[in-house]
Amino acid sequence: MVAHMDLGAFNLFVALGVAGVKATLVVLFFMHVKYNERLIGLFVVGGVFWLCIMLLFLVTDYMSRGWLPVKGW
């Protein structure tokens, strides 16, 4: 029902929060991570950690694009 509400600037944050909760539930229950060995959970946490590292690299690269002038433009 949140999709039909106008939350102004918070639309993006609410949508990302709902998507995060849904992804967590899918991983825990439908992929049976909650009921398997701890090693599988460790690999899931490691994958999420690696994704955060890659997103950090992406954001730092994007934010530093305008620092150096490009010759010829």
String of DSSP letters for 15-33: HHHHHHHHHHHIIIIIT--
Lowest mean pLDDT among 25-29, 34-38, 58-62, 68-72: 68-72
pLDDT confidence bin for 73, thresholds 50/70/90: low
Residue-level pLDDT at 71: 75
Helix or strand holding residue 40 (H, E): helix 38-63
pTM for this entry: 0.68
Task: Look at residue 72 and tell me whether its pLDDT is greater than 90.
Answer: no
Residue-level pLDDT at 70: 72
Domain spans, the chain: 23-61
Long-range contacts of 43-47, Cβ-Cβ distance < 8 Å, separation of 24 or more:
none
Give the closest residue to 48 by CA, choosing from 67, 13, 24.
Answer: 24
Helix or strand holding residue 12 (H, E): helix 11-25
Residue-level pLDDT at 54: 98
